[in-house]
Structure 1
Amino acid sequence: MTQELFRQDAYLRETPATVVALDAQGVLLDRTVFYPLGGGQAGDTGELVLADGRTLRIADTRKHKDAEGQPSGAIAHVPAPGQEELLAALKPGDALTARIAWDRRHRLMRFHTTTHLLCHLVPQPVNGCSITPEYARLDFHMTDPLDKDALTAGIARLVAEAHPVTVGAITDDELDANPALVKSMSVQPPRGTGTVRTIRIGAGDIAIDFQPCGGTHVAGTAEIGAVVVTKIEKKSATTRRVVLGFA
Structure 2
Amino acid sequence: MTELLFQQDSYLKEFEAEIIEISEDSIVLNKTAFSPRGGGLTSDQGVIIFEDGSQSDVLDVLSRSGKVFHKLSSIPKEEHIGKTVRGILDWERRHKQMRLHTLLHAISSILYKKYGTTVTGGNITPEKSRVDFDIDHLRQERVHEIETAIKEIIAGDHKVYVSFLERKEALSDPELIRTKVNLIPESMKILRIVEIENVDRQADGGVHVGSTKEIGSFVPLKTENRGKDKKRLYFTVSP
Q: TM-score, normalised by structure 1?
A: 0.88
1:192 aligns with 187
1:214 is the counterpart of 2:205: yes
Residues 182 and 100 of structure 1: is their aligned pair in 2 closer, same or farther, counting only changes over 3 Å? same
Retained in 1: the 8 A contact 2:160–2:212? yes
State which of 226, 233, 237 in structure 2 corresponds to 1:242.
233
Retained in 2: the 8 A contact 1:149–1:229? no
1:162 aligns with 157
Q: Offset of 1:100 from its aligned partner? A: 1.1
State which of 199, 212, 231 in structure 1 corresponds to 2:222.
231
Amino acid of the structure 2 residue aligned with 1:59: L
1:177 aligns with 172
Amino acid of the structure 2 residue aligned with 1:159: I
2:76 aligns with 87
Q: Offset of 1:89 from its aligned partner? A: 7.0
Q: TM-score, normalised by structure 2?
A: 0.91
Retained in 1: the 8 A contact 2:18–2:82? yes
Q: Offset of 1:194 from its aligned partner? A: 2.7
Amino acid of the structure 2 residue aligned with 1:216: V
Q: How big is each residue's C-alpha offset from its partner over 1:88-136, in whole Å with a ceiling of 9 and x where there is no partner?
A: 4762112110111111000000000000110122111111110111111
Retained in 1: the 8 A contact 2:171–2:177? no
Amino acid of the structure 1 residue aligned with 2:228: A
Q: How big is each residue's C-alpha offset from its partner over 1:200-219, in whole Å with a ceiling of 9 and x where there is no partner?
A: 011xxxx2101100010000
Q: Offset of 1:192 from its aligned partner? A: 3.1
Amino acid of the structure 2 residue aligned with 1:222: K
Residues 122 and 193 of structure 1: is their aligned pair in 2 closer, same or farther, counting only changes over 3 Å? closer
Residues 79 and 187 of structure 1: is their aligned pair in 2 closer, same or farther, counting only changes over 3 Å? farther
Amino acid of the structure 2 residue aligned with 1:208: V
Following the alignment from structure 1 to structure 2, what is the Cα–Cα distance between the partners of residues 89 and 54?
Answer: 15
Q: CA RMSD in A?
A: 1.7
Q: Offset of 1:74 from its aligned partner? A: 0.4
1:109 is the counterpart of 2:98: yes
Q: Offset of 1:49 from its aligned partner? A: 0.7
1:129 is the counterpart of 2:122: yes
Q: Offset of 1:171 from its aligned partner? A: 1.9
1:99 aligns with 88
Retained in 1: the 8 A contact 2:134–2:231? yes
Q: Offset of 1:25 from its aligned partner? A: 5.2
Q: Offset of 1:195 from its aligned partner? A: 1.9
2:4 aligns with 4
1:51 aligns with 51
Q: Secondary structure of the equivalent of 1:87?
A: coil
Retained in 2: the 8 A contact 1:155–1:228? no
Q: Secondary structure of the equivalent of 1:24?
A: coil
1:69 aligns with none
Following the alignment from structure 2 to structure 1, what is the Cα–Cα distance between the partners of residues 107 and 44?
Answer: 23
- The count of aligned residue pairs is 232
1:18 aligns with 18
Following the alignment from structure 1 to structure 2, what is the Cα–Cα distance between the partners of residues 101 and 162?
Answer: 26
Q: How big is each residue's C-alpha offset from its partner over 1:65-103, in whole Å with a ceiling of 9 and x where there is no partner?
A: xxxxxxx210000113xx3xx534762112110111111
Amino acid of the structure 2 residue aligned with 1:161: G
